[in-house]
Amino acid sequence: DAGVIQSPRHEVTEMGQEVTLRCKPISGHDYLFWYRQTMMRGLELLIYFNNNVPIDDSGMPEDRFSAKMPNASFSTLKIQPSEPRDSAVYFCASSRQGLNTGELFFGEGSRLTVL
Amino acid sequence: AQTVTQSQPEMSVQEAETVTLSCTYDTSESDYYLFWYKQPPSRQMILVIRQEAYKQQNATENRFSVNFQKAAKSFSLKISDSQLGDAAMYFCAYRTLPAGKSTFGDGTTLTVKP
């Protein structure tokens, strides 16, 4: 089975531009998480979904950030407008309740650089 | 809110030796999961070992073992016979039950010296 797939792997954009990061979770997984990793702040949970419904978005920095999960196999994280301080690696992870393991499966991350 | 603290930003070990990474957490829950994840330079996070809070027996996976002290809220990772491929950043993580969000520590960068 394919793992969590994220795109793009790298994105370089200019301040003010819209950025869309994409994630395809592992088939059958019902939880999806978006994390942001920076040197200063470590690994921060931005938002997570259960069965496509956002459960906790308290980690979303501000209104410039939005996330959607239109179906079980796709999620997006959008930043509009982007700012240099948004530069980070963004990880998507998925898991499945019922396996009783609690493990998160991570994608390879999307490295965002905002100039 | 749950918090996870890794007090060692960096650790170093000689190849073939043993090293222990520390982790403490704070929670009011009685049932939860604890994890150690490894993030190599390639960036993708992978699971090293898992511990269910209701289990008293410490988890072991080959060269990796944990020392889980529930009352002290401590969850350390021991790596035996360290190998060059163990060099990575290691994250301690906590997850609520039933399946909820995971909280991560700030990570410990492990260097393995040949």
Question: What does the DSSP assignment read for B89-111?
Answer: EEEEEEEETTT--EEE---EEEE
* Cβ contact, residue pair B101, A56, below 8 Å: yes
- How does pLDDT run along chain B (114 residues), one tens digit per residue? 679 999 999 999 999 999 999 999 998 888 899 999 999 987 889 999 999 988 889 999 999 999 999 999 999 999 999 999 999 999 999 998 776 788 999 999 999 999
Smallest CA–CA separation between A68 and chain B, in Å? Answer: 17
Residues of B in contact with A107 (CB under 8 A): 44
Q: Which of A97, A102, A107 sits opposite B50 (nearest CB)?
A: A102
* Cβ contact, residue pair B43, A101, below 8 Å: no
| Residue appearing with tokens 């965002």 | A112
Q: Does B10 touch chain A (CB under 8 A)?
A: no
Q: How crowded is residue A41: how many other Cβ atoms within 10 Å of its Cβ?
A: 10
DSSP, res A74:
E
pLDDT at A26 over 70: yes
Structure tokens at B49: 């070992």
* Cβ contact, residue pair A108, B99, below 8 Å: no
Residues A93, A76 contacting (CB under 8 angstroms): no
